[in-house]
Chains A and B, each alone.
Chain A
């Protein structure tokens, strides 16, 4: 299937013993070979797609055919003109590129879809950011969909919930995670205790998030029924922002422990010894020399852990429930997080007969969520730069 490109290549290949050239570059393909092969592959794939499609032309099919033809074509061409070694080198390079592009497709596609669907809604209805769903009924959405009334409601309650729950989860997990990794790196001497901590932290990394949610629910239930009371009014108290924060910290702690541990291990031992030699105690050495030196990596690890749990849905749904009104207090009443809001708006639209306004709100919320996560990642980079030990001044 690559004969056409093949023959064109052979004619132009520099012949050994032809015009006097650098002997070191003899027998090499001309630089434009890959362009020729690419064009040949695209043309051939277009013909093939049109033939197989039977009238309708599939763009995806065309690109896939072209990619396969290009990889095979480059291999055959290189094999024919140069040698097998270079052909094998080339095919692996092309496969790596193909894998990279494949991996990029879903990422770009997700971001594109969310922006395309969410941005127009958000720009037309910026009040989504500062109103909640309190008082919004199905009648409003039916009016929006059928009579063109403006979109009602918003997801301020989701923003408040995500913010408060993530903040609480961070307050819980950062000290625990930080101190655990300090124990692992600075105090334990590789005994069974530290090895089992490492093992269980690794197990925790792979815990399904719904299990974390149920665990937090069970813990808070046990606490409340034991110490406060068992009446239905008390059982109602279980679902609150704090319970969700506990669930999220179960997911967050292992991430914080592992990233901090790595960062502490790369702090040179010389710095610890320098500090000891000045007569500084161990805990002061850790808090004033080791931690500041590793701070950039630790801070970015924590930020990435926050970004990871911000998108959790299931554990928050079972622990904090779903509310329509804004609730800033994580210690009582139900709370809505942005991912839960998105899930509920799509699965149970406010107006079951008119789902479009709900879907619009969900897309806008998804856009805001992605922007938050992107900003957190950006913050991680800025923090890492800001805290990094200064190397300038020479």
Chain B
């Protein structure tokens, strides 16, 4: 229930603009990996290529190989929808479906795909996912209320519950705490620590303390200047990246020095 992610010479484009160049990375299953780096360096862009969400934007494409347990998700004939059922994603801003109740939001991945299931089966999925997202006790009495009525932190955990409900192998998180207060952030970080028992978790964050707290390994991306492509500078154990980085750029970034 958890897959290895490997990128081999991956280039990511927006139209003709090369946004991320030559990424080679190997992400272990059942681990938490954090992507850090300045804005515009391609962390999110690379993250979105892992479940082929990148190409949803007009003109966006990726070249190179990206392997999920050895299988190339960019091979010809691969249906992006199949990839996305295996690689879930949580976005920067909580985005529960406003027309659906909390329960229906959890079941969205199944119901939107037209899956038929018995009521007890559905209840089981809802409870398991909500417990997995540490939200069950807070919402179990109001599963039929709209998801948009929850607080921001609860909404984000609802979105995490929604993505684990379809039982993916990998969960991608794009700055999941940037819109949340410290207490909700703590709840999500605790959750990430539990999620890695079952899933491969990749998280983009601007908060270096957060990366240090949750990630087993950390990847630092940087950009040489505007209009230049972003690159993966260094990828290592989190403690190494923050305490003893091999690259000067990484050291400057994690210690807050630039230039």
Interface string of B192-235 (1 = CB under 8 A from A): 00000000000000000000000000000000000000000000
Within 8 A of B (CB), among A287-340: 288-289, 292-293, 295
Q: Does residue B14 face the partner (Cβ distance < 8 Å to A)?
A: no
Give 25 CB contacts A-B under 8 Å.
Answer: A273-B89, A274-B91, A274-B162, A275-B97, A277-B51, A277-B53, A277-B84, A277-B89, A277-B91, A278-B85, A278-B108, A278-B112, A278-B166, A279-B86, A279-B166, A280-B109, A289-B99, A389-B99, A389-B146, A390-B99, A390-B149, A392-B145, A393-B142, A393-B145, A393-B146
Which residues of B have CB within 8 Å of A274? Answer: 91, 95, 97, 159, 162
Kindly state the separation between the CA atoms of A268 and B159 in the bound complex, as whole angstroms.
Answer: 16
Q: Does residue A147 face the partner (Cβ distance < 8 Å to B)?
A: no
- Considering the complex of A and B, which 7 residue pairs feature the smallest CB-CB distances, nearest first? A393-B149, A279-B85, A393-B145, A389-B98, A277-B89, A278-B109, A270-B95
**Across the two chains, which residue of chain B brings its CB closest to A272?**
B56
What residues of chain B have their CB less than 8 Å away from a CB belonging to chain A? Answer: 51, 53, 56, 58, 81-82, 84-86, 88-89, 91, 93, 95, 97-99, 108-109, 111-114, 142, 145-146, 148-151, 159, 162-163, 166
**Across the two chains, which residue of chain B brings its CB closest to A267?**
B98
Query: Do A285 and B112 contact each other (CB < 8 Å), given the known contacts A189-B58, A271-B97?
Result: yes
Q: Does residue A276 face the partner (Cβ distance < 8 Å to B)?
A: yes
Are A284 and B95 neighbours in the complex by a CB distance under 8 Å?
Answer: no
Min C-beta distance of A112 to chain B, whole Å: 42
Q: Does residue A394 face the partner (Cβ distance < 8 Å to B)?
A: yes
The total of interchain contacts (Cβ-Cβ below 8 angstroms) comes to: 94
Min C-beta distance of B53 to chain A, whole Å: 6
**Across the two chains, which residue of chain A brings its CB closest to B166?**
A278
Query: Do A278 and B148 contact each other (CB < 8 Å), given the known contacts A271-B95, A389-B98?
Result: no
Q: Does residue A391 face the partner (Cβ distance < 8 Å to B)?
A: yes
Which residues of B have CB within 8 Å of A389? Answer: 98-99, 146, 148
Q: Which range holds the interface residue count of chain A?
A: 20 to 34
Kindly state the separation between the CA atoms of A394 and B151 in the bound complex, as whole angstroms.
Answer: 8
Are A293 and B84 neighbours in the complex by a CB distance under 8 Å?
Answer: no
Taking A273-B53, A277-B89, A280-B109 as given, write out 7 further A-B residue pairs in contact, using a Cβ cutoff of 8 Å, ordered by the A residue number. A274-B91, A279-B113, A280-B112, A284-B114, A390-B98, A390-B149, A391-B148
Are A392 and B146 neighbours in the complex by a CB distance under 8 Å?
Answer: yes
Are B98 and A293 neighbours in the complex by a CB distance under 8 Å?
Answer: yes
Which residues of B have CB within 8 Å of A281? Answer: 81, 113
Which residues of B have CB within 8 Å of A392? Answer: 145-146, 149
Kindly state the separation between the CA atoms of A390 and B101 in the bound complex, as whole angstroms.
Answer: 9
Are B112 and A275 neighbours in the complex by a CB distance under 8 Å?
Answer: yes
Which residues of B have CB within 8 Å of A284? Answer: 112-114
Kindly state the separation between the CA atoms of A281 and B202 in the bound complex, as whole angstroms.
Answer: 24
Which residues of A have CB within 8 Å of B51? Answer: 277
Are B88 and A277 neighbours in the complex by a CB distance under 8 Å?
Answer: yes
Kindly state the separation between the CA atoms of A292 and B146 in the bound complex, as whole angstroms.
Answer: 14
Which residues of A have CB within 8 Å of B112? Answer: 275, 278, 280, 284-285, 288-289
Kindly state the separation between the CA atoms of A135 and B99 in the bound complex, as whole angstroms.
Answer: 54
Interface string of A379-391 (1 = CB under 8 A from B): 0000000000111
Min C-beta distance of A271 to chain B, whole Å: 6
Kindly state the separation between the CA atoms of A273 and B86 in the bound complex, as whole angstroms.
Answer: 15
Among the listed A268, A273, A279, A391, which residue makes an inter-chain contact with B109, where contact means beta carbons less than 8 Å apart?
Answer: A279
Are A391 and B84 neighbours in the complex by a CB distance under 8 Å?
Answer: no
Min C-beta distance of A280 to chain B, whole Å: 4
Interface centre among B88, B95, B114, B149 (most CB of A within 10 A): B95
Among the listed B88, B98, B99, B151, which residue makes an inter-chain contact with A278, where contact means beta carbons less than 8 Å apart?
Answer: B88
Kindly state the separation between the CA atoms of A273 and B85 in the bound complex, as whole angstroms.
Answer: 13
Kindly state the separation between the CA atoms of A270 and B95 in the bound complex, as whole angstroms.
Answer: 6
Which residues of A have CB within 8 Å of B98? Answer: 271, 293, 389-391
Which residues of A have CB within 8 Å of B85? Answer: 278-279
Among the listed A189, A273, A295, A390, which residue makes an inter-chain contact with B91, where contact means beta carbons less than 8 Å apart?
Answer: A273
